[in-house]
Amino acid sequence: LNKHYIQTANLDFSTQNNLNNILVGKTTATKFSGTYNGNNCKIKNITLNKSGINNIGIFWYLSWDFQIKNIQFENISLTGNNYVGIFDDISGNGNTSLITNNSFSGITLVGNDYVGIASYVNNAKLQALSGTNISITGRHYLGGIAWYVSGYWVALDALTLNNIQIT
């Protein structure tokens, strides 16, 4: 999916009773490599309880040239097995792979292994991210912004977290 999107209004999922999954770039065949500009709007009130399922997130399989920016994530609760995060499985090319200017409030992430706002980051830039009231629960490989960061082109810059609990 090499597309470019601009969010024009808040997305409120509070009336959705049976959310199966909310994923942008769900498989290697549909990996996301475009731009998602949240336009400073909110994505809020999402609850996914998939305790036996791997790869639970909102943006999954971000690949090569992508930008995810200007989104306010609010009241998000994700429960899965392994790889649980708002952003899951980020494999970029470094120079043009960017998650920036996003905020997180009232986030609950629960899983066994590999749990964090970004559950896996390889060759991407994470910058100007802020969060408050974040709870991350799991068994192994837990992180606030990211549990795993690698690659030659990785950059973490201007990250601010307040009232975060990792257990």
Find residue 44's DSSP bridge partners.
Answer: 12, 74
CA dist list (Å): 49 to 54, 85, 148: 11, 13, 23
pLDDT of residue 6: 97
Q: Which amino acid is at 160?
A: T
Distance between terminal CA atoms of the chain?
35
List, for residues 30-79, the tens digit of each pLDDT value: 788 889 999 999 999 998 888 888 888 888 888 878 899 999 999 999 99
pTM of the model: 0.90
pLDDT of residue 10: 97
Helix, strand, or coil (residue 134): strand
> Is the pLDDT reported for residue 127 higher than 80?
yes
* Nearest C-alpha neighbor of 103 from the set 57, 62, 160, 157: 160
Residue 18's contacts (CB-CB under 8 Å, 6 or more residues apart) are none
